[in-house]
Structure 1
């Protein structure tokens, strides 16, 4: 089965290209990337280089750990690949420093205190606009304003950071990459072995279940509910901690949107599944009730 969408809630034109792989085929081909629980894993097969330049790099900020996998033809040159990697890492660190809601001097904190307006900084305006779009797209179940202290974009901030880093890679001419953080990822192009990125998505809480396996050349997977922090997602209509689901995982074109949908679905519970029947281009992979 393939999922295709011309335009998502954030107004993106990128089409997700995802193919489900049956378990028999999965047994013959190891995954490149694994998502599940609170972390991610990169399989050694993803580093096979052949006649390509393949790079893996891990970076930690104050709130997240990221893995970046890049590969490019030899003619692109190692210097270009290295510069692209540095630009992407710098973007991840800059988002953490500049927009982290827990940092008193961040733009988000200053916005919450009324010291600046969103229009003061174009990236901040984009972040606010995305949160407003997702509030509308989810019937208010994703609401960055319905939190103590005011505006908090945390439900999509990590995905937004990853997509901004990925944009840096594309601007440098890198068209084959994967960027992972926790149980989230975005990919484009092909893995170093020349085929689509093979992604095994493990159940977020039940390690005994066989993973869902995707072959992806463009798209993202976002997850909410596996951070280990109790009550970190609240019902925006009541202010109470969300308790209906154990976790929610969503696949679609853009990670910021997939993250926001996953957060909204986790907050809403099973009723939120109706959002994925409206042609949005985003689909729930996991949405299991608590027992």
Structure 2
């Protein structure tokens, strides 16, 4: 679990003569979780509200395509045989290809297939969908922003705007409510995988069994999509996963608790 704060990082002090940067937050329930968009800078521009509305639109559309809880989603209709592969949204093929790449990159620690009989491509959909949705925010001048999707975050800035720092607290999975570490995120994604909040929902693709252990794995780097994939991989195998990450994607950093 990750939380964002706008307070100064430990060891720093706020400059008292500097006027506060305008801020605004937007929240929507989508994909079965609360998603918030935090904006700094020219928050009253009409383009900001328009871009945030487009963010929600992309995420709701992704839910309509990929949800395993909605019987009318493209994925569930494909599973039932109500739609053919040629009839479903092209996002499904895109995500399937990313799942293949993710399995190769992680050495099988992340996979859409497990136990020889089950296939679920939705494990990377949240990070992928937030990345796609946030493209609308990148076109708005004069702002920096951070999208928080159930504790996984993507930070960036608009056109002709430098990024600002979002201090992200990483919760101690063995001591809920306490912060184990803080990451200063300026641009890119941060994701945490674990069982503290949702129980043993992460499946080890090598065995097909849920990972029922304490702890968590947090990964941050250039994109939320791959941070999310690697967080899952490192939670599945905290012993060999970090070395696999360093070898495959050295631009990413990790914290295994």
What TM-score, normalized to structure 2?
0.80
Q: Deviations over 1:126-171 (max 9, x none)?
A: 2111111101111111111226974323321211221122112224
Report if the CA contact (8 A) 1:69-1:179 is conserved. yes
Report if the CA contact (8 A) 1:131-1:153 is conserved. yes
1:135 aligns with 2:103: yes
Residue among 63, 73, 81 paired with 2:48: 81
- Whole-angstrom distance in 2 between the partners of 1:62 and 1:25: 31
Question: 3-state DSSP class of the match of 2:38?
Answer: strand
The match for 2:5 is none
The match for 2:4 is none
Q: Post-superposition shift, 1:207?
A: 4.6
- Whole-angstrom distance in 2 between the partners of 1:118 and 1:201: 42
Matches within 5 A, 1:23-62: 26-29=10-13, 48-50=20-22, 54-62=23-31
The match for 1:70 is 39
Q: Post-superposition shift, 1:175?
A: 5.4
The match for 2:121 is 153
Counterparts in 2 of 1:211 and 1:143: CA distance versus 1, 3 Å = same
Question: 3-state DSSP class of the match of 2:119?
Answer: coil
- Whole-angstrom distance in 1 between the partners of 2:242 and 2:140: 38
Larger CA deviation: 244-253 vs 85-94: 244-253
1:254 aligns with 2:223: yes
- Whole-angstrom distance in 2 between the partners of 1:25 and 1:82: 29
Specify every segment of 5 or more residues in structure 2 that has no aligned partner in the other structure, as ranges.
Answer: 1-7, 15-19
Q: Post-superposition shift, 1:88?
A: 0.8
Q: Deviations over 1:249-281 (max 9, x none)?
A: 111111121111111221223121221221512
- Whole-angstrom distance in 1 between the partners of 2:92 and 2:171: 34
Report if the CA contact (8 A) 1:180-1:186 is conserved. yes
How many residues of Structure 1 are paired with residues of Structure 2 in the alignment? 241
Question: 3-state DSSP class of the match of 2:100?
Answer: helix
The match for 2:150 is 182
Q: What RMSD, in angstroms, separates the aligned Cα atoms of the two structures?
A: 3.1
Counterparts in 2 of 1:175 and 1:110: CA distance versus 1, 3 Å = farther
Q: Deviations over 1:99-138 (max 9, x none)?
A: 1122222122234345332795332222111111101111
Matches within 5 A, 1:149-228: 150-173=118-141, 176-189=144-157, 195-207=164-176, 210-226=179-195, 228=197
Counterparts in 2 of 1:272 and 1:99: CA distance versus 1, 3 Å = same
Question: 3-state DSSP class of the match of 1:221?
Answer: strand
Whose relative contact order is higher, 1 or 2, with alpha carbons under 8 Å and at least 6 apart?
A: 1
The match for 1:4 is none
Counterparts in 2 of 1:186 and 1:118: CA distance versus 1, 3 Å = farther
What TM-score, normalized to structure 1?
0.71
